[in-house]
Amino acid sequence: MIVIETFKGKSVTEHRVEIVERKGTGHPDFMCDSMMEAISVALSKEYRDRFGTILHHNIDKGLLAAGRVEKTFGGGRVIQPMEFIIGDRATFAAAGREVPVVDIAIHAAKEWVKNHLRFVDPDRHITYRTVLSPGSEELTDIFSRPGTVRGANDTSAAVGYYPLSPTEQAVLSVERHLNSKEFKERHPETGEDVKVMGMRSGRKLSLTVAMPLLASFLESEDDYFEKKEKIEAEIARVCGTFRAFDRIDVFLNTLDVRGRGFGGVYASLLGTSAEDADSGQVGRGNRVNGLISMNRPMGTEAAAGKNPVSHVGKIYNVLSHKIAREIYETIEGIKEVYVILLSQIGTPIDLPQMATAQVLLEKGRKIGDVAKIAEDVFEKELSGIAAFCHALSRGEYPVC
């Protein structure tokens, strides 16, 4: 069933207060989501190569336990490595052939670390524990049933929206800038564990940024504060390009206190707080559009690591945002779109139990003007869901 209705509330930009968060590349939660998703992509490829189809797996229960380090100005050492625990379900054998699931999982996690964290050695700084088992008979059977479109392996709902507000765009842009290749070349002393919290009150935006500076690049406490001041100034310059605000205040590493040595500065040995301060867990990080937006409806499913052909906790989470964007860009006179998709376990994923678009219209527009076009967008996207799922399986859509 497809329902198109008028959204009765205000646009998020009309709220007096808006709060948006982004956890960046080196944040422990982002690391968990990304590594588990990399494992799902690698397993999907292995299943396709061996059997011509993607088999049952849900690699969505992961924990990154923090390690311990010792820091000094100019360097330090790892005392206890981080531990990455890889859990849930996978297919270990089919058609009489075994699949090296554990080896694939650990290799995929290490490759992600190698490609995204400059100072974390995936062999020396992280240990790996797998607690993967075969899935239940009933859920596994979904993958052997006929048809090009799988049945949903859960009864679950997801919500997406479009467009991003200026606050959401600003938070996303700042983190991406701070973790860009160009910024890291100019400021190699900065770690990847960037967290940005944006708070808009009226037309004033406040950005609180946490980003460690690497101990090996610091000569002293004074050197830390000198480097921090330059970085804060660059963030302010970047924010100067955001025209939707009358004023933007930037705060960097606000726990810092001069005169307390390493107790008063946000310094890191490896660039992530998972080295000694903060553990990570799948599902605690960004939603699939890369943000945690408190003024928006949010689903409860963790998309990262779920299989991309039957688990609606991944499929509908990403697809709802895609459909919202398509409706917004196809139809004139729309301020915002919210899309909700609800599955029923066992029902083909291209036949959701409910597909709803809540549309906030510009003045003078009526729901009857847009309903049929919005329904057509749903029909088009759902009819192409098999191709969409295969693109998901190749990692073409980010989930954090």
Residues 6+ apart with CB under 8 A from 14: none
Residue 213 has a pLDDT of: 98
CA 57 to CA 54: how far, in whole Å? 9
| CA distances in angstroms from 97 to 94, 100, 131, 143, listed in the order given | 5, 10, 21, 16
Tell me the average pLDDT of the chain. Answer: 96
Residues 73 and 219 sit within 8 Å (Cβ to Cβ) = yes
Most distant CA atoms of the chain, gap in Å: 68
Mean pLDDT of 40-62: 95
Mean pLDDT of 315-324: 98
CA 94 to CA 146: how far, in whole Å? 17
Residue 80 has a pLDDT of: 98
Token code pair at residue 353:
């139990």
Assess whether the region 2-12+154-164+286-393 and the region 166-275 belong to the same CATH fold: yes
**pLDDT band for position 145 (cuts 50, 70, 90):** confident
pLDDT reading at 158 higher than 90? yes
CA 64 to CA 46: how far, in whole Å? 25
CATH 1.10.357.10 applies to domain 166-275: no
CA 212 to CA 228: how far, in whole Å? 10
pLDDT reading at 83 higher than 80? yes
Residues 6+ apart with CB under 8 A from 190: 178, 183, 184, 211, 212, 213, 214, 231, 271
Residues 6+ apart with CB under 8 A from 255: 266
CA torsion, ordered 94, 97, 102, 105, to nearest 10 deg? -70
Nearest Cα residue to 208 out of 156, 139, 152, 255: 255
pLDDT reading at 7 higher than 90? yes
Token code pair at residue 339:
């899309």
Q: Please report which residue ranges of 331-384 form alpha helices under DSSP H.
A: 367-383
Residues 171 and 133 sit within 8 Å (Cβ to Cβ) = no
Residues 275 and 312 sit within 8 Å (Cβ to Cβ) = no
Nearest Cα residue to 230 out of 189, 259, 172: 189
Residue 326 has a pLDDT of: 98
What are the start-end ranges of the E strands in the chain?
Answer: 2-6, 17-23, 57-65, 68-72, 75-80, 82-90, 93-94, 97-98, 126-133, 157-162, 195-201, 204-210, 213-214, 247-252, 267-268, 280-281, 292-293, 334-342, 354-361
CA torsion, ordered 100, 105, 106, 111, to nearest 10 deg? 120
Q: 2-12+154-164+286-393 architecture in CATH?
A: 2-Layer Sandwich (3.30)
Mean pLDDT of 259-278: 96
pLDDT digits (tens, 9 = 90+) for 324-346: 999 999 999 999 999 999 999 99
Task: Name the residue ranges covered by the structural domains of the chain.
Answer: 2-12+154-164+286-393, 28-142, 166-275
Residues 58 and 282 sit within 8 Å (Cβ to Cβ) = no
Mean pLDDT of 311-326: 97
pLDDT reading at 6 higher than 80? yes
Mean pLDDT of 185-190: 97
Residues 105 and 42 sit within 8 Å (Cβ to Cβ) = yes
pLDDT reading at 137 higher than 90? no
CA 232 to CA 311: how far, in whole Å? 42
Report the predicted TM-score, pTM, of the whole model to 2 decimal places. 0.95
pLDDT digits (tens, 9 = 90+) for 199-227: 999 999 999 999 999 999 999 999 999 99
pLDDT reading at 296 higher than 90? yes
Residues 6+ apart with CB under 8 A from 270: 69, 78, 117, 119, 120, 125, 191
- Taking the CA of residue 65 as centre, how many other CA atoms within 13 Å lie in the half-sphere pointing to its CB? 9
Q: Give, in words, the CATH class of 28-142.
A: alpha beta
CA 350 to CA 362: how far, in whole Å? 31
Residue 255 has a pLDDT of: 97
Cis peptide before 163 (omega within 30 of 0): yes
CB atoms within 10 A of CB 38: 24
